[in-house]
Amino acid sequence: MSESVYEAVRQTPRSAGSRVETGVFGADVAFALVNDGPVALLLQTPAR
């Protein structure tokens, strides 16, 4: 089931014309993250 959900989710931007890169479903992924420095967040809310 999860692979079919993955396929459906990746097709959504493709059907809108966006380029989508994919790998092997269920493959191991390794990455590193360094949180160094300040961060700015822009929060938008609907006008009241």
pLDDT tens digits, 12-43:
888 888 888 888 877 888 888 887 888 888 88
Q: What total number of domains does the chain contain? A: 1
Q: Is residue 20 part of a domain?
A: yes
Q: Is residue 39 part of a domain?
A: no
Q: Is residue 14 part of a domain?
A: yes
pTM here is 0.40
Distance CA 27, CA 5 (A): 16
38: left (phi over 0), alpha (psi -120 to 50) or beta: beta
Q: Is residue 41 part of a domain?
A: no
23: domain range? 1-34
